[in-house]
Chain A
Amino acid sequence: EPEVTQTPSHQVTQMGQEVILRCVPISNHLYFYWYRQILGQKVEFLVSFYNNEISEKSEIFDDQFSVERPDGSNFTLKIRSTKLEDSAMYFCASSEARSSKEKLFFGSGTQLSVL
């Protein structure tokens, strides 16, 4: 079964450093998403991406965050200057179509720890 792949599974960084979280969405999917879950909290939407541009973003997704699809397979989330409160599990997801919310496939996540 096709799956969304995220690397690395764990990332430890110092506050103020830049991090890039990587994702390989399912190959025929066109819509890409980042969500995050702070420990003990709900899974929160960060951003959706389609046709090489952001289609929707939350208020969490401020100027410190950016997303990119640098080639035909990868989808990345960059945090320019990490803060302690960025520590969370970051989930990438993809879907074939925007309306296919039940066909949204999540990766296993990257646990980001900011020290």
Chain B
Amino acid sequence: DQQVKQNSPSLSVQEGRISILNCDYTNSMFDYFLWYKKYPAEGPTFLISISSIKDKNEDGRFTVFLNKSAKHLSLHIVPSQPGDSAVYFCAASENRDDKIIFGKGTRLHILP
């Protein structure tokens, strides 16, 4: 069962343009959403999060949007930089749980 879905396995974006990574979820009990970034041979690292009581959270070049009615969230990176090339995991959790449920990831390539 895929409670967190990232339907685009990969995405290529020109340097300087906006990268938009999408994520859908099925569990309406999720109340906290996170994006992780992963480079090869490293573990996932936390990037940005959003609580279900908000619809937007911004941190520098990164903004996460949450649309609860559509059970959809997106990560915007602007402007995209070469160092942003990595695998991005969307993740979600229920506040009462220890576990985080991850999507399969989207590999982002920033083109020069």
Contacts and interface: CB of A to CB of B under 8 A. Distances in A.
B98 A108 contact: no
B97 A56 contact: yes
A108 B42 contact: yes
Contacts of A108: 41-43
Contacts of B89: 42-43
Q: Is the interface of B mostly helix, strand, loop or mixed?
A: loop
A112 interface: no
A15 to B, nearest CB: 26
Contact of B34 (A44, A99, A102, A106): A102
Contacts of A109: 42-43
Contact of B100 (A41, A55, A99, A101): A101
Interface residues of B, number: 24
A65 interface: no
Interface string B22-46: 0000000000101000000111111
Interface of B: 2, 4, 32, 34, 41-46, 49, 89, 91, 93, 95, 97-105
Given A4-B43, A31-B98, 12 more contacts: A35-B102, A42-B89, A42-B104, A42-B105, A48-B98, A56-B98, A98-B98, A101-B93, A103-B46, A106-B43, A108-B41, A109-B43
